[in-house]
Chains A and B, each alone.
Chain A
């Protein structure tokens, strides 16, 4: 109903006259409110919407006066205010002239002036402090890095931001109330809004107050360092809320207190519901995490599915980046979300970083370290983040990304040799560390197929130092002693799987320091007598450092055959024998150089002077025998095991191509999770409709595939394992190792890694002759060709190695990489035989038996029992000889061939 101000005044006059009461008295207000309602009801029934003095007077006449008031309605309540007649009573109207719902200001108590000190405290502790705390947490993530993340989502940020905003609005409203006089109108809508806002913020404030309660004592001590005030913000807000609410209530008369309480309740319910809606999924996610680490398979599987449902991935990532040592204690109880924190606080189970990493992979299908650390997680952001310790320092795993560590430069120099059909690439890498503590760089390098590391150097004080090669145990012990204990300059390279090595170096100096090293890799151009092929680059399969988008791998390739850069290498500017260009890191895996022998000379013997051989028969000859035509009347059946982890989803088209080209000799299976580890795939449609979810442990599938492969004893199948990363050391690996070692039927397993990342299956089975590396898949047809080569292999060269004390008469002299290739082949064929154990180290090779380490000083080599390395016989990129030089070499070779003295056959290589 709309009242004219005159009508309102008339009603006041009427009440005053009929009651003889002052407007400050309760009874006056009661009667005034009752009469207002009565008048409105009466006129509403008459269809009136606006109350004028005239219409009011009509109603008042009908109502009449209180016949008893003269004797009894003498209110004795003393009033500190002047009589109503002196007040300026104005009915508030909106812009359209419509009256705004209001009541007349009439505090229960006498008006208290808003004290300056109170205002200051209210602003400081309930507005400024929570706002600063929120801003600080958003930027520095201190709470997140130490305790839990109080603002895991933007909705949390909004909820918390509402607290200082509400206090600000309420404070302004209090000031407004303080400045108005008795009897003046107070906008009811505003009052309702204030109360609703206060109600909304109460659950939020209470929740955070309880969350931060355990650290309140620490925070109080921390107040000495000023920062302690921030965790106390919820406490101050909690106290401030009651003060603010009571201050508002003091200005409200009794009937409107009922309304205000109602709106307070509405706000409170809304706040509570918002909080519950926000936190409940996180709570269930945390419960799912606890279920997922259960030893019961079924519960665990259900837990994993629930983590996906409720979104616990972020929390798992948070746990994954927490150090293992700490996570078993109090830290293991902490979570990402406040709800996680609450759940874990009351839960008896904690999760270790290893469990979290396993779960993260199982839930998402991607290794945790392929994702940047969450803000505030160990090693990332926060004031103290520069000082966080790398939990995996000196370990065998690449593990998570290290903040501030990056690849600064990368250069590859390659030589490919036509006669020996060998290539050699030197990869010079520089790491940079912008943090305040020295860091360890770790990476897994995927080598060209059948490649091996044949050189390692480290720049120490600007000088290139060669590596010592020794047994894996010795070099690892030396690295740990020097890098971890003495924190000096070593670099270590070890085999971590088929066609894979692990490189780790320490320390990459702090504050922008650089660490530079060179890794030399020898690789065969082809297994067959082909006159052309592709050379793939070594690439980074896993790393703990960042690579900037602007980093380019500088490539230089030379060779005595035709080499061409891929079409994508726009900067290519080579001629027949050299090539130079650069490309960004993501292309490193897929780029290749095509080589072609324009003048194939047929199979020719090649020889070299073996620089590592101690005897007189240092002339090592490789004879290429006639091609062996393998009996191909019966094709080898293949069992294809496809990793159905989510990261493999994008490879479905390439796998579908393989299924389409199936010649009925291939059975396709998906590696599934509990309870069915191997699921048969009959068609492309079935593959496409099957959802690849989470990270699958492929070992049970491989074990079952092995059983299937051995069913046909006359012609056992080969297994082609197409997979992504297997970043978890699942305990089932021991069973697979046993299956491979103890089985009488040797089933080869060819592995094709389509996705990067750690692969502990490859690492565990390194050196196992049944476990073979696969080709790198770049094109759609690569998998098909791979399957064909397994099913019906092309004829391969048969190499026969001989030694002699004098240069062989026939054959072409080639570079000494031939000797390294011989040593590598020999080692790989005799991995289990002790007499060959020292061979790879002697030839300065990194194999499953040997590793390489560069130390800083001679003393360190002596301390760790390693031979002091020299640069003698080190592999190098040969310079391209001028034509005249080539002629001299040819003449020399012919002359020495006149005095040939051949020795026994040493090794036969069926590569």
Chain B
């Protein structure tokens, strides 16, 4: 892979992973391990587990997430993460943005065809000026 590709995927994934974390916690709280396993299992995301915990901590610091400890009968104590009110609001905005962005990406061809028209008009105009 090229350096460009590496940097680009890094930039893209960071934003997407944060979005995925918030979206995973949208309707349910999850403990860290389960959350990490869920995120890393998402096909195509290709994220290391070690990447998620610092993000969780940062989101928490930004008051988008909160956490609580709970004793577990099945094993060690679990740290549950859940969305704060601010987190929910941010996620709502992110949903809108992401949906819009995906829609926009999906409309590339149609937009392109519009752009082609514009391109043809400008070509013929250039030809005319050359004739003069």
Contact = CB atoms under 8 A, between A and B. Distances in A.
Interface in B22-47: 31-33, 36
Contacts of B49: 38, 62-64
Contacts of B33: 37-38, 41-42
A791 to B, nearest CB: 81
Nearest to B14: A68
B132 interface: no
Given A37-B31, A37-B78, A68 B69 contact: no
B57 A31 contact: yes
Given A31-B54, A31-B57, A65-B48, A41 B10 contact: no
B51 A34 contact: no
Contact of A63 (B10, B50, B68): B50
B58 interface: yes
B98 interface: no
A37 B48 CA distance: 17
Interface residues of A, number: 32
A416 to B, nearest CB: 88
A258 interface: yes
B97 interface: no
A27 B75 contact: no
A66 B32 contact: no
A73 interface: yes
Looking at A26, A45, A68, A72, which has the most chain B CB atoms within 10 Å of its CB? A68
B53 A38 contact: yes
Contact of A67 (B31, B48, B60, B68): B48
Given A27-B61, A37-B32, A258-B68, A69 B54 contact: yes
Contacts of B68: 258
Contacts of A907: none
Nearest to B32: A34
A19 interface: yes
A142 interface: no
A27 B58 contact: yes
B95 to A, nearest CB: 23
A690 interface: no
A26 B79 contact: no
A10 to B, nearest CB: 14
A199 B33 CA distance: 32
B53 A41 contact: no
B84 interface: no
B8 to A, nearest CB: 13
Report whether over half of chain A's contact residues are helix, strand or loop; otherwise say mixed. helix
A38 B36 contact: yes
B41 to A, nearest CB: 13
Given A27-B61, A30-B60, A34-B32, A44 B76 contact: yes
B50 to A, nearest CB: 4
A41 B67 contact: no
B54 A40 contact: no
A569 interface: no
Given A30-B56, A30-B60, A258-B69, A37 B50 contact: no
Interface in A59-101: 60, 62-69, 72-73
Residue among B33, B51, B57 having the largest count of chain A Cβ atoms under 10 Å: B57
Nearest to B71: A259
A35 interface: yes
A18 interface: yes
B54 A19 contact: yes
A896 interface: no
A14 B48 CA distance: 15
A76 B59 CA distance: 17
Interface in A22-63: 26-27, 30-31, 33-35, 37-38, 40-42, 44-45, 60, 62-63
Contacts of B67: 255
B77 interface: yes
B54 A66 contact: yes
B47 to A, nearest CB: 8
Contacts of B51: 64-68
Given A42-B33, A63-B48, A255-B69, A37 B56 contact: no
Given A64-B49, A69-B54, A40 B60 contact: no
Contacts of A18: 50, 54
Nearest to A18: B50
A684 interface: no
Contacts of B10: 67-68
Contact of B53 (A26, A40, A66): A66
A72 B51 CA distance: 12
Contacts of A66: 48, 50-51, 53-54
A877 interface: no
Given A30-B60, A42-B33, A68-B10, A37 B54 contact: no
Nearest to A36: B76
Contact of B75 (A44, A64, A65): A44
Interface in A181-207: none
A1 interface: yes
A488 to B, nearest CB: 80
Interface in B61-105: 61, 67-69, 74-79
A97 B96 CA distance: 55
A3 to B, nearest CB: 11
A62 B50 CA distance: 8
B69 A35 contact: no
A38 B32 contact: yes
Interface string A291-305: 000000000000000
Given A18-B50, A63-B50, A27 B57 contact: yes
Greatest chain B CB density within 10 A among A19, A34, A35, A60 is at: A34
Nearest to A40: B76
A31 B76 contact: no
B90 to A, nearest CB: 18
Nearest to B17: A68
Contacts of A69: 54
Contacts of B60: 30
B36 A40 contact: no
* Most chain A beta-carbon neighbours within 10 Å: one of B10, B14, B75: B75
Interface in A285-333: none
B50 A65 contact: yes
A44 to B, nearest CB: 4
Nearest to A73: B54
B2 to A, nearest CB: 17
Contacts of A63: 48-50
Contacts of B36: 38
Contact of A33 (B14, B54, B75, B79): B79
B48 A64 contact: yes
Nearest to B54: A66
Contact of A64 (B50, B57, B69): B50
B14 to A, nearest CB: 6
A30 B31 CA distance: 13
A37 B57 contact: no
A201 B75 CA distance: 32
Nearest to A101: B77
Contacts of A42: 33
Interface centre among B31, B68, B69, by most chain A C-beta atoms within 10 angstroms, is B69
B75 A40 contact: yes
A34 B54 CA distance: 9
Given A255-B69, A258-B68, A34 B79 contact: yes
A741 B91 CA distance: 98
Contacts of A19: 54
A73 B79 CA distance: 22
Given A27-B58, A34-B56, A37-B76, 8 more contacts: A34-B53, A37-B78, A38-B32, A41-B76, A62-B49, A64-B51, A66-B48, A66-B54
17 contacts: A18-B54, A26-B61, A31-B57, A34-B56, A38-B32, A38-B33, A38-B53, A44-B75, A45-B75, A64-B51, A65-B48, A67-B48, A68-B51, A69-B54, A73-B54, A258-B69, A259-B69
Closest 3 CB pairs of A and B: A64-B48, A30-B57, A40-B76
